[in-house]
Amino acid sequence: MEFTMLIAMAMAMAPDSDLRRQVAQLLVVRGSGHLTDPQRRYPRWELDNATLQRLMAEGVGGVILLGGSGAELRLRCTQLQAWAGEAPLLLCADVEEGVGQRFGGASWLVPPLALGRLHQDQPALALSLAEAYGRCTGREARSLGLNWVLGPVCDVNNNPANPVINVRAWAEEPTSAGALAAAFLTGAQAEGVLCCAKHFPGHGDTSTDSHLELPLLPHSRQRLESVELVPFQAAIAADVASVMTAHLLLPALDPDRPATLSAAVLNDLLRSDLGFGGLVVTDALVMEAIAGHYGAGEAAVLALEAGADLVLMPAEADEAITAITAAVQRGRISPERLSASLERRRRALERCRQHGTPPPEPTSAVAPLGPLSNGPDAHAQQLASDLVQHSLRVQGGTVAWGDSGVNLIRLDSTLDCSFLPATAAALVLPSAAGLRPCLIEARSPSPWSDDGAAPLALERLGPGPVLLQLFVRGNPFRGSADGQEPWPAVIQQLQAAGRLAGLAVYGSPYLWEHLRPLLDATIPAAYSPGQMPLAQEVLLGRLGLGKPPSRPAPSTGGGFTD
């Protein structure tokens, strides 16, 4: 407390430029993991290099990164820190499913919900794997320059219609979710990175996506304590370094403001009642649940007033800094309040340093290629394989493939599809068995007929047996977890026509559980919560599609044609 008071006194006497720099430390902006501006995948949110360099020089204290290879990420983190000078940065990423989920060449692991299902039958094994999951994620993140893992998700996915949490959660009931999240963060933080429990006080029982609109959670305080808060309490007990807020409205706690901007939620519930003393970070303020109702500056000020320490992805960084600085100067935010957040940030960074010497700075053009230059190490590869094998579900036999047929793949979008490169098993293995690839994009009108009982336009497919591969899961900006597509009717239609040769479901367990009872017992079928190429290879191997000959992947064309 004495240190915080000294900072507050210094602020009161500091010139405006010094205060603005102190405020800037509490912002975390979005940047691409790629090194050059033309490589940015999401320029709407990812700042260009000139802006990033200026903001780092002006004191902005953190960057959330996405995209690029592991080697490129290591260079990027070094570059950003050089732009910031001696002021240490918080460098983070949403690597909920391993670092390889976001950065090529690292370990891409099955979604956390896979372990929630395993925990029901083999709790000791599930907890052991969750800790190994955390260690793998923390070790690879640290080796590539990140010091903050934005996970674990502590939401309880007890609503199968949840469009945005879904398989990102560790479990569908609170005790398992809390135990597995705590195991993960214990493993990750042991590797010298900070973890972040999200999305407080619980985004699992919602049917709307806060990226698109403000969800309503109509539960009582008693219900929150028995379900939503349980995993967060477990994470706090396990010494999680940070907590991320949720953009949702809880009338039982605050009928006027979303949790991210509510003192009743952040200060009273999280700080006072649950006793959390670490960093509180907002979810991205560019999400429509906030940006659709508040300006960039006012949202940032309200978040700090409510009890947040760090502002993640404000819609306009300069506007947010200006608004917070003005709020301090006018007494709306006290110097003591600002200094408390700066002190919590300082302690978090010190916690990383205490783990040991950080990864060495590159000394030559070759040095950055060291981490993961040959891919994940043997332990990580074994973990990834074990997780896929333990979460795989198979019924029926293997597929007796002929010389021709159709590989019908459903995707959300063929554009920028990270789990389906040209060499992906879902394309290459069926092609080696003589199946022609045909891709359906979510919400695309082209494959559907006007017949509700026979919704798939089979005449467009061409002849032969059909392998149906469905990539369906909850994801941000989707609006639904299953695309609202008539897959039960498609299954029945293909079976009635004698054309369904096999079914593969990747992602949502709820879709698998919905379709499985409709299958004839002789139809080979399998489910994996993972969608990445490793999961595809293992699943299709169980359906009788072995490793292909060494030849280029087929052209996928444009899917159905009119």
User: By mean pLDDT, which of 253-262, 332-341, 359-368, 378-387 is the weakest?
Assistant: 359-368
**Rounded to an integer, what distance in angstroms lies between the CA atom of residue 300 and that of residue 374?**
42
- Is the pLDDT at 472 greater than 80? The verdict is yes
HSE-up (13 A, CA, CB side) for residue 55 = 29
What is the C-alpha to C-alpha distance for residues 238 and 127, in angstroms, rounded to an integer?
A: 14
User: Phi and psi dihedrals of 465, rounded to 5?
Assistant: -65, 155
The question of whether 211 is a catalytic residue gets the answer: yes
**Order of strands across the sheet that contains 435-441:** 393-395, 525-528, 500-507, 466-472, 405-411, 435-441
Q: Beta strand pairing status for 525-528 and 393-395?
A: antiparallel
Report the pLDDT value the prediction gives residue 296, as an integer from 0 to 100. 92
Measured distance CA(69)–CA(74) in Å, rounded: 9
* High-pLDDT (> 90) share of the chain, %: 71
Task: Dump pLDDT digits (tens) for 200-220.
Answer: 999 988 876 666 678 888 889
Which phi and psi angles does 201 have, rounded to 5°?
-95, 20
Query: What would the two tokens of residue 200 be?
Result: 């407080």
Catalytic residue among 34, 199, 203, 211: 211
Can 412 be counted among the known catalytic residues? no
Which is nearest to 371 in space by CA: 383, 382, 358, 384? 358
Q: pLDDT tens digit string along 499-544? A: 999 999 999 999 999 999 999 999 999 999 999 999 999 999 999 8
Say whether pLDDT at 160 is over 90.
Answer: no
Strand locations in 33-94, DSSP E? 62-66, 90-93
From 209, 283, 309, 482, active-site residue: 283
Single pTM value for the model: 0.90
In 284-434 the beta strands, taken as DSSP E runs, fall at: 311-312, 393-395, 405-411
Mean pLDDT of 474-492: 70
pLDDT in tens, 172-209: 999 999 999 999 999 999 999 999 999 999 998 887 66
Q: What is the mean pLDDT of residues 126-137?
A: 98
Does the pLDDT of residue 93 top 60, yes or no? yes
The CA distances from residue 541 to 108, 403, 406, 546, in Å, are 19, 18, 17, 5
pLDDT digits (tens, 9 = 90+) for 219-262: 899 999 999 999 999 999 999 999 999 999 999 999 999 999 99
